[in-house]
Amino acid sequence: MKTMKLMGTAVLAFALATGPLLAQVTAIGAGEGEVDIVAWPGYLERGESDKTFDWITKFETDTGCKVMAKIANTSDEMVTLMNQGGFDLVTASGDASLRLVAGKKVQPINIDLIPSWSKLDDRLKNGAWHTVGGVHYGVPYQWGPNVLMYNTTVFKDPPKSWSVVFEPQNLPDGKPNAGRVQAYDGPIYIADAALFLMAHKPDLKITNPYELNPAQYAAALDLLRGQRKLVGRYWHDATVQTDDFKNEGVVAATSWPYQVNLLLGEKFPIASTIPDEGATGWADTTMMATTAAHPNCAYKWIEHTLSSNLQSDLSVWFGSVPVVPAACSDKSGQQTADGCKANGADTFDKIHFWTTPVADCDQGTGACVPYHQWVSDYMAVVGGQ
């Protein structure tokens, strides 16, 4: 995996200065009655949105552990919530997971207590976004690409380049893209700009969109400042984005398969693609808080995520790819092999998965720009500065 190598970073060295931690749970006992989870929208369904998508009710009945969900729309929001405390688990993406490890907000996972660990995709078991010094700080949950979602009445053919959202141009309907495109409202989106530049400005010598030296980083910011004139809204709320496509004239944007599925379910003229430049993406991980008040229920839930219909049905509901490959074809739920392929199961090597940018990177051409600077600079871009 070209962007998932574990970086020998100062931030991780700090987190593990006293050596790798040991898992706090050595045996699973009776459940404590509940488990509190911070999750992305659409990740925790109990049949309230659609009665055919429910992977919570049976878990609660079988274990006596009530699932309490807190929805977060960005990785930064997840980190903030975990820093505040009061949660047992979080479904963290790669731009949050190493921050949580470095901040000692999550504990190592005892994989011996997870019988279904062997079912995991081998490419994900030791992912650098949840494995530090050979210690697992989480269990893979789902993965997928950040897609280019587009209105099919405007684009008769799938756009071949991310230029439709980055550069001023007339779209196939003859109208300008200004005001009709969106960008993601999160600092990690700087990587999307860097990915575009990897293909279109090879002289910058960008090899990893999360490892940018000052010159490469400056070029990405310049591209984003130009894009600011085109963007009608920076989105972070999935529901708001789908509403913008339906009612506000938005016709192209970076998005998640989740929004694509919501709009397709409403028979809206929508489709998605991964352009020629490739895409960023997410490999989400269930991580346990260091101060988890309900560790037994938490471990029971983690096993449930790998051994039940969750992997299959969540893949259909969200438009993601199961971390248990068999869920694509074993009839444990509603997913099929063709459905997994449609969700991007064959695109793994085209995806540059979200990773927390750090100063001490492996680039070898100078210090990289760390995430805290991405945060302040992207806020300035969104604010028009």
- Domains in the chain: boundaries: 10-144+282-348, 145-280+356-382
**Whether the model pTM is above 0.75:** yes
Amino acid making up residue 300: K
Encoded tokens for 74 = 């960005």
- d(CA 57, CA 62) in angstroms, rounded, equals 9
Tens digit of each residue's pLDDT, the chain (385 residues):
333 333 333 334 333 433 456 678 889 999 999 999 999 999 999 999 999 999 999 999 999 999 999 999 999 999 999 999 999 999 999 999 989 999 999 999 999 999 999 999 999 999 988 999 899 999 999 999 999 999 999 999 999 999 999 999 999 999 999 999 999 999 999 999 999 999 999 999 999 999 999 999 999 999 999 999 999 999 999 999 999 999 999 999 999 988 998 999 999 999 999 999 999 999 999 999 999 999 999 999 999 999 999 999 999 999 999 999 999 998 889 999 999 998 889 989 889 999 889 888 876 556 899 999 999 999 999 998 7
End-to-end CA distance of the chain: 35
Provide φ and ψ at 358, rounded to 5°: -135, 160
- Residues 10-144+282-348, CATH architecture: 3-Layer(aba) Sandwich (3.40)
Fold of 145-280+356-382: D-Maltodextrin-Binding Protein; domain 2 (3.40.190)
The answer to whether 10-144+282-348 and 145-280+356-382 have equal CATH topology is yes
